[in-house]
Amino acid sequence: MSTAFEIAKRISFQKQKNYTRFIVRLSIAATAISVAAILLTFSIVNGFQATIANKVYQFWGHIRVASVSGEPMKLDSNTLAGFQKNPAIKKITPFINQSTVLSFEQDIEGVVARGIPASTQIPFLRKGKGWSSNTGKDSLLNEIIISDNIAKKLNIQLGATVRLYFLNTGAVQQRKLKVVGIYHSGIEEYDNQFVLVDIKLLQQLNNNELVEGYSIVLNENAPIEATTADLQKILPENWIATSIKNYYPQIFDWIGVQTINRNVTITIMLIVAIINLLTCLFIIMLERITMIGTLTALGASQNFIRKIFLFQASFICWTGILLGAIIGLGLSYLQAKTGWIQMDESAYFIKELPIKMDAIQILSVLIGTAIISYISFLLPTLWIKKISPAKAIQFD
């Protein structure tokens, strides 16, 4: 154990009350608050971005394949086989979107009927069991899944029968459907607009087996843009693969803005922590100016004296960092488990403040804060060489 470390330990943990003791505690508290705020910022922004993006992906998939002109299309077996060979693809779902009017008793509402295969898992299903499971391969389901918003607006209960009116080739066609499920995504743009029906129902109305496009879901952590480019290489000339981010740029741009807010918050917190630590170290050195003069007179080098104060600053820095980590991670864990902080779902698309902790980010915050702090500590220690031993010993 070095002599400089022993001296730093003795003066750091002495029980004598003095003005410096209050400053040290204040610096530890400020560092802890800054580190806790940074960790919370990372956890909240990560959770917010992942939760909103996943909601969009669950509803639409990660990539949409459609014709350039928007005309109906049919995927040939060779192209489908090419899709399935891509290891990044998890699921391929054909769909048709068609405007319609939903009627229940005396109320009507303009909606978009989204046709998907009856074997598809329903996203955000809140009530009901979804599609019937005892249907044959070629049978048509006269069932519908509506959103919670539409159900409340028209006072539709689970199991009720509603009517859909379609305008095809100048004629109005009606279909009676049973409500077998109610979903709630939290994104009002979807909840106020879309109802889900069997894709065969819309194909029957259109007298063909064509579809509007294909929704492609990727495996977790698969690169969306790279996979989109790979799919485009095997598509026919009049087909195009587009990431969902490009279909809904307003949502993903809004998500991206949170990264800027996160970086600004982290920068401010780091500046606050560094200024507090620098101020604390200057005050400690000023209080120990007599000790500095005495050690210099006894032949101690400037590097030796600098090490004493760097060790002392390290005690303060790491105490604050570890305390901040406990507070920040503790609050993040508490929110993740209990969801005690609620949000306005109509404004933020989520009801509870989401949390997503990343081990690499946590270590980066702790180690990065320590490194920046150590670099900053060197600045006040440069003042040591300007202290005259004779004047320092006489200083009171």
Q: Which two tokens stand for residue 59?
A: 């509803």
The Cα–Cα gap between 112 and 195 comes to 6
Kindly state whether residues 50 and 104 are assigned to the same domain. no
CA angle 354, 356, 362 (to 5 degrees): 140
Question: 257 lies in a domain?
Answer: yes
Residue 318 falls inside a structural domain: yes
Per-residue pLDDT of the chain (396 residues; tens, 9 = 90+): 577 667 666 666 665 555 667 777 888 888 899 899 999 999 999 999 999 999 999 999 999 999 888 888 876 677 778 888 889 999 989 999 999 999 998 889 999 999 999 888 888 998 888 888 655 555 678 899 999 999 999 999 999 999 999 987 778 899 999 999 999 998 888 999 999 999 999 999 888 888 898 999 999 889 999 999 998 888 888 889 999 999 888 888 888 888 898 999 888 888 888 888 777 777 777 776 676 667 666 776 767 777 777 777 788 888 889 999 999 999 999 999 998 888 888 778 888 899 999 999 999 999 988 888 887 777 766 655 555 555 555 555
Whole-number Å distance between alpha carbons of 112 and 98? 6
Residue 118 belongs to some domain of the structure: yes
- If asked whether residues 8 and 121 sit together in one domain, one would say no
* Domain shared by 276 and 336, yes or no: yes
Q: Which of 194, 216, 238 is the last residue of a domain?
A: 216
Q: Which residue has the tokens 């979107």?
A: 97
Regarding whether 160 and 278 lie in a shared domain, the answer is no
Amino acid (1-letter code) at residue 316: I
The per-residue pLDDT for 270 is 85
Where does a domain end: 216, 240, 269?
216
**25 within 8 A of 283, measured Cβ to Cβ:** no
Q: How far apart are CA 185 and CA 192, in angstroms?
A: 10
Q: Which domain does 15 fall in, by range?
A: 3-56+252-394
Q: Are residues 281 and 327 in the same domain?
A: yes
43 shares its domain with 128: no
Q: Tell me how far apart the alpha carbons of residues 113 and 177 are, in angstroms, rounded to a whole number.
A: 12
Would residue 189 count as lying in a domain?
A: yes
Does 256 lie in the same domain as 386? yes
116: tokens are 């998907």
Q: Which of 197, 216, 235 is the last residue of a domain?
A: 216
**Residue 237's pLDDT is what?**
81
CA distance linking residue 133 with residue 130, whole number of Å: 9
Give dist(CA 271, CA 294) in Å, integer: 34
The pLDDT assigned to 134 comes to 54
The answer to whether position 384 is within a domain reads yes
CB burial class (10 A; 0-12, 13-18, 19+) of residue 276? buried
Q: Do both 131 and 182 map to the same domain?
A: yes
Q: Are strands 143-147 and 171-183 parallel, antiparallel or unpaired?
A: parallel
Do residues 296 and 212 both lie within one domain?
Answer: no
- 209 and 117 part of one domain: yes
Are residues 387 and 267 part of one domain? yes
33 shares a domain with 105: no
The reply to whether 242 falls in a domain is no
Query: For the whole model, what pTM was predicted?
Result: 0.81
- Examine residue 228 and state whether it is found in any structural domain, yes or no: no
In the chain, the number of structural domains is 2
Contact in structure between 189 and 52 (CB atoms under 8 Å): no
239 domain-assigned: no
